[in-house]
Amino acid sequence: MIDYRNLTYEEQKNYLESLHAYDLKELYESLTEDEQVELFERLDDTQKADLLSYLDVDDAAEIVETLDAQDTADIFSEMDPDDAMDILNELEEETSTELIEQFSEELKEDILSLKSYTDDETGSIMNTDFITLTADLDVKDAMKKLISEAPNVETISKLFVIDKHNTFLGVVPLKKLIKAKSPCAIETLYEPSLFALDTDDKEQTATLMQEEAINILPVLDDQHMLKGIVTVDDAIDTYEDEMIEDFQKMTTLSEDVSDSTFTSALKRLPWLVVLLLLALPIANLALQFEGVLKDYTIIIILQPLILSMIGNAGTQTLTFSLIMIADEEPDKVIKRNIFYEVSSAALSGLLLSLISFVVTLLFIVFNPSLSENPYLFGSIVGISVLLSLIIGTFFSAIIPVVIHKVGLDPASASGPLLTTVIDITTILTYYGIATWMIGVIL
C-alpha cells in the first residue's frame, strides 16, 4: 500500500486524482486531524463532494460547518441532491437555510423538493439527477442527450421514458439503446418497470428492491409523474438506518449520539422505571419460596447461573423472530420458526443441563460448606436449565409475534417485556423444582 505521507507534493497530487471516492475516504480517515485539513484543502470541488458523500454524514456535517457558505455551495453543486440533503439535515436549521440560499436555482429546487418529504417517505431518499427521454425521440438524438448529460447524473444504466406531461412510461436499458439503430423511436424500445410512490415508506421500497433484485427504481407521485429514482446504495443506507433503529428500540434506547448527558439520562429513565416496576412481581414471587430459600441459601447462590444462560438464549431467539417479522414472512413460516426454535432449545438444553449439573457438582465439591448434597442441587440446576430454556425460548419466539398481531411495534416492546417474562418463568421453574425435589428427597 502506498504511504501517502512519504510522497512528494506532485506525487500526492497525482495519487489523489487516481483514487476512487471510497479509497479517498479511507485515506482521509487514516490521517491525523491536521493532515485531514491539509488534504481537504488540496482537493478540488468534485473530489471534496465525493469525499463528503462517502464519509459518515455526521463527519461530513462537521467539515461543512468549517466552510463558508459559498465554498459549501460550490461543493454541493457537484454532489447528488440526496447526498447533499443528508448533510443538510445534520446541520442547524438556520445554517441549513443560509446554505440553501447560496445554491443554484436548480439545486435549490431539488433540495426543497426533498425537504418536503418526511424522513420515512421514499421521496426523502430519492435522487433527482437522472436522464429522461421522450417516447417520440429517435435513438440517435437519445444517444446525443445521453452523452451530454451523463457526467451530471449518478447512473446511466437505465434511461427513463416520459411523455410530454412528464408521466412515466417505462425504462430503456443502456445496452438496448446502444444496440438500436436509427431510425428507431424510443417508444419501440422502452420496457415497463416496477416503481415506488414518493409517499411510500422507504423501508418498504428498500425491501421491494431487495426482493426483486432491482438496482434502480423509479419514484412517482400519485399522478404517476416521474419525481426521482432510488438506487441500491440508497436502499442499503435505509436498511442500515432501520437496523440501528430497531436495535435501539429492542434495547429501549432512543437518544442520539449528539444528546447531552442529561438528555440521554432523561430519555432512558422512563424505561428504567418501567423495568424497575416490572421487577416487583419477581421479588414478590421469591417471597413465596421464603422457607426453602432461608434453609438452603445455595439456591440463591446458583440462581445467576440459570438466569444469565436463559436470558442470552432468549435474546438470540428474539432477534431471529424480529428479523422474520421485519421481512414480512408468512404466518406458516413464522410458526415453523417457533417450532424450530423450541426444538433447538430442547436439544441444546439437554447438553447444557448436563454441563450445568457437572459445573454445579464441582462447585459444591470445592465449596463443601455450601451443601452436603451436591448431586441433589446439581440435578435441580440441570433440570431447571432444560425446562427454563425450552419455556424461555418459546416466549422469546411468540411474544414479538403476538405484539405484532395487536398492531404494536415488536422491536420496541419485546425487549423489556421478554426480560420480565423470562425472569418470572425461570425463577418460578427453578424455585418450584428446588422446593419439590428438596421436599421429596430431604
- Of 394, 380, 251, 392, give the one whose Cα is nearest residue 310: 392
Please indicate, yes or no, whether residues 274 and 417 belong to a single structural domain of this protein. Answer: yes
Please indicate, yes or no, whether residues 322 and 412 belong to a single structural domain of this protein. Answer: yes
pLDDT of residue 220: 92
pLDDT of residue 412: 60
Tens digits of residue pLDDT in 175-188: 888 888 878 888 88
Of 215, 249, 283, the one marking the end of a domain is: 249
227 contacts 123 by C-beta, under 8 angstroms: yes
The verdict on whether omega for the bond into residue 173 sits within 30 degrees of 0, i.e. cis, is no
The three three-digit cell numbers of residue 275, written as one number: 423495568
User: How many whole angstroms separate alpha carbon 109 and alpha carbon 167?
Assistant: 19
User: How many whole angstroms separate alpha carbon 429 and alpha carbon 419?
Assistant: 15
Q: Is residue 236 part of a domain?
A: yes
pLDDT of residue 37: 85
Segments forming the whole domain that contains residue 242: 132-249
* CATH code for the domain of 22: 1.25.60.10
Q: Is residue 154 part of a domain?
A: yes
Tens digits of residue pLDDT in 195-216: 999 898 888 888 888 888 888 8
Percent of the chain with pLDDT over 90: 3
Please indicate, yes or no, whether residues 212 and 164 belong to a single structural domain of this protein. Answer: yes
Please indicate, yes or no, whether residues 43 and 190 belong to a single structural domain of this protein. Answer: no
Of 223, 249, 275, the one marking the end of a domain is: 249
Q: Is residue 173 part of a domain?
A: yes
Mean of the per-residue pLDDT values of the chain: 80
Q: What are phi and psi of 161, to 5 degrees?
A: -100, 130
Please indicate, yes or no, whether residues 240 and 269 belong to a single structural domain of this protein. Answer: no
Please indicate, yes or no, whether residues 160 and 182 belong to a single structural domain of this protein. Answer: yes
Q: What is the mean pLDDT of residues 368-393?
A: 85
Q: What is the mean pLDDT of residues 189-197?
A: 89
Of 63, 86, 116, the one marking the end of a domain is: 116
The answer to whether residue 154 scores a pLDDT higher than 80 is no
Tens digits of residue pLDDT in 232-246: 877 777 767 676 665
Q: Is residue 45 part of a domain?
A: yes
The answer to whether residue 255 scores a pLDDT higher than 80 is no
The answer to whether residue 294 scores a pLDDT higher than 90 is no
Please indicate, yes or no, whether residues 351 and 415 belong to a single structural domain of this protein. Answer: yes
The answer to whether residue 307 scores a pLDDT higher than 90 is no
Q: What is the mean pLDDT of residues 78-103?
A: 80
User: How many whole angstroms separate alpha carbon 283 and alpha carbon 290?
Assistant: 11
Please indicate, yes or no, whether residues 201 and 245 belong to a single structural domain of this protein. Answer: yes
pLDDT of residue 245: 64
The answer to whether residue 167 scores a pLDDT higher than 70 is yes
Please indicate, yes or no, whether residues 388 and 239 belong to a single structural domain of this protein. Answer: no
Q: Is residue 31 part of a domain?
A: yes
Please indicate, yes or no, whether residues 232 and 287 belong to a single structural domain of this protein. Answer: no
User: How many whole angstroms separate alpha carbon 183 and alpha carbon 386?
Assistant: 76
Cα angle at 269 between 266 and 270, to 5 degrees?
110
- Say if residue 43 is exposed, middle or buried (CB neighbours under 10 Å; 0-12, 13-18, 19+): middle
397 contacts 419 by C-beta, under 8 angstroms: no
pLDDT of residue 430: 86
pLDDT of residue 168: 92
Helix axes of 105-115 and 81-90: crossing angle, nearest 10 degrees: 60
Q: What is the mean pLDDT of residues 61-90?
A: 83
Q: Is residue 255 part of a domain?
A: no
Q: What is the mean pLDDT of residues 349-365?
A: 89
Tens digits of residue pLDDT in 8-66: 878 778 888 888 888 888 888 888 888 888 888 888 888 888 888 888 888 888 888 88
Please indicate, yes or no, whether residues 391 and 425 belong to a single structural domain of this protein. Answer: yes
Per-residue H/E/C for the chain? CCCHHHCCHHHHHHHHHHCCHHHHHHHHHHCCHHHHHHHHHHCCHHHHHHHHHHCCHHHHHHHHHCCCHHHHHHHHCCCCHHHHHHHHHHCCHHHHHHHHHHCCHHHHHHHHHHHCCCCCEHHHCCECCCCEEECCCEHHHHHHHHHHHHHHCCCCCEEEEECCCCEEEEEEEHHHHHHCCCCCEHHHCCECCCCEECCCEHHHHHHHHHHHCCCEEEEECCCCEEEEEEEHHHHHHHHHHHHHHHHHHHCCCCCCCCCCHHHHHHHHHHHHHHHHHHHHHHHHHHHCCHHHHHHCCHHHHHHHHHHHHHHHHHHHHHHHHHHHHHCCCCHHHHHHHHHHHHHHHHHHHHHHHHHHHHHHHHHHHHCCCCCCCHHHHHHHHHHHHHHHHHHHHHHHHHHHHHHHHCCCCHHHHHHHHHHHHHHHHHHHHHHHHHHHHHHHHC
The answer to whether residue 370 scores a pLDDT higher than 60 is yes
Q: Is residue 363 part of a domain?
A: yes
The answer to whether residue 347 scores a pLDDT higher than 80 is yes
Domain tally, the chain: 3
Q: Is residue 73 part of a domain?
A: yes
pLDDT of residue 263: 64
* CATH code for the domain of 148: 3.10.580.10
Please indicate, yes or no, whether residues 194 and 271 belong to a single structural domain of this protein. Answer: no
